[in-house]
Amino acid sequence: MAEEPESALQLPPSTAADGEGPTEVSPETATPEPPSSAAVSPGTEEPAGDTKKKIDILLKAVGDTPIMKTKKWAVERTRTIQGLIDFIKKFLKLVASEQLFIYVNQSFAPSPDQEVGTLYECFGSDGKLVLHYCKSQAWG
Amino acid sequence: MEEDEFFGEKTFQRYCAEFIKHSQQIGDGWEWRTSKDSSDGYMCKTHFQVKNGTVVSHPGTSAHEQTCLPMEEALELPLDDFEVPETMAATDVIKYEYHVLYSCSYQVPVLYFRASFLDGRPLALKDVWEGVHDCYKTRLLQGPWGTITQQEHPILGQPFCVLHPCKTDEFMTPVLKNSRKINGNVNYITSWLSVVGPVVGLNLPLSYARAASQGE
């Protein structure tokens, strides 16, 4: 898997013209410090644009999986599922023996190197992509 | 229909039939085979992977595959039409076979697979792992699938690698429970294969996700 460059969490607004306020809005409630893995920032009120580089993702926990306090995230289109998995694992502070899976349409796991932008095109609605995530115990 | 996370052979066959129906629509190559001796059957697919990253363009490639193939090297080619281009050595091409069978003892599907060169020589397990993309390797090591072992194929009687089914219900149950609350028409096989497939080089096109939720 190509190691995507770790772009800084503090990204300038993609559309400089609008005065929507700070892009890097901290989550509404106190959360653990987000890991430095990149290209994922808390959901903002970015205006819809044709060349929007990030898409909105809503993360929903399944089963016993801890619920993320920040559920809505703006993620770069080129971020892969594996990248998102790594991010959520760090955010939730899962131990190494725990695996995390992500699903579209509640039950289909996209391949780990599928890009979220593509998933958004196929499964997004109401301006966002809903992804369910579920942890499971690894073997041994 | 209220379904448990475990199901019987008939339900397995029904899920496979739905799965294959979509596969036929998109030319994904899955087929159903029955055993000579009984009504038992399994689902299977063969694909060829070019080891050195050379992309072989194939005129028959399905135009309605909306997703880019996740593994750059993997090609979904129909068995009959594949010809090794002159520039490639036979050892550059690996044939993968995937079989989905039903395990009566665990009451879940099981993934059998094997890899071989075009001349029929099987690949050693360690060589199969070398062909697995790095991100899948991690998943392989950390995933909840127990072990991968070599076992005799229950119907063909030939050695295959198997993803052990003992943990299947563990990772399937929460997802199925959740998805059935939202949408009753979930195809277990589609869901399960989407999770375990990539670990062994098998990727499902995204259109299966739509088909599954529409209950085709």
Tokens of B65: 């595959």
- Give residues with Cβ within 8 angstroms of A42, minimum separation 6: A24, A25, A26, A27, A70, A72, A73, A74
Q: A140: number of CA atoms within 13 Å, CB side?
A: 7
Closest approach of A31 to chain B, Cα-based (Å): 25
Q: Does the beta-carbon distance from B175 to A65 stay under 8 Å?
A: no
Give the mean pLDDT of chain B: 77
Look at residue B21 in the predicted model and tell me its pLDDT: 96
Q: Sorting pLDDT into bands at 50, 70 and 90, what band is A139?
A: low
- Rounded to two decimals, the ipTM of the complex is 0.76
Neighbours of B194 (CB within 10 A): 25
Cα(B142)–Cα(A100) distance, rounded to whole angstroms?
10
Closest approach of B65 to chain A, Cα-based (Å): 12
User: Which residues lie across from B99 on neighbouring strands?
Assistant: B44, B112
**pLDDT tens digits for range A38-91:** 567 776 554 545 556 899 999 999 988 999 999 999 999 999 999 999 999 999
Look at residue A140 in the predicted model and tell me its pLDDT: 42
Look at residue A24 in the predicted model and tell me its pLDDT: 40
**pLDDT tens digits for range A93-107:** 988 778 889 999 999
Look at residue B66 in the predicted model and tell me its pLDDT: 34
**pLDDT tens digits for range B56-65:** 433 333 333 3
- The 3-state DSSP class for residue A139 equals coil
Distance of CA A133 to the CA centre of its chain: 11
Cα(A73)–Cα(A91) distance, rounded to whole angstroms?
12
Across the range A125-132, mean pLDDT stands at: 95
Tokens of A111: 């391949």
Write out chain A residues lying below 8 Å of B146, CB-based. Answer: 139
A138 interfacial to chain B (CB closer than 8 Å):
yes
Q: Does the beta-carbon distance from B70 to A138 stay under 8 Å?
A: no
Tokens of B115: 């890899």
Interface of A with B in 71-130 (CB under 8 A): 80, 82, 96-97, 99, 101, 103-114, 118-119, 122-123
- The 3-state DSSP class for residue A88 equals helix
- The 3-state DSSP class for residue B210 equals helix
Closest CB to B195 among A63, A109, A119: A109
Burial of A50 (0-12, 13-18, 19+ CB in 10 A): exposed
Across the range B71-80, mean pLDDT stands at: 45
Contact B117, B76 (CB under 8 A): no
Q: Which residues does B contribute to its contact with A (CB < 8 Å)? A: 66-68, 70-71, 133-136, 139, 142-147, 167, 170-171, 173-179, 182-183, 186, 190-191, 194-195, 198, 203-204, 206, 208-210, 212-213
**pLDDT tens digits for range B116-174:** 988 888 888 777 767 666 666 666 666 656 567 888 999 999 999 998 888 888 889 99
Q: Has residue B207 got a pLDDT over 80?
A: yes
Q: How far is CA B157 from CA A16, B35, B113, B164, in A?
A: 65, 11, 13, 17
Cα(B49)–Cα(B93) distance, rounded to whole angstroms?
6
Beta strands in chain B (DSSP E): 31-34, 41-50, 74-75, 93-103, 108-117, 148-152, 159-163
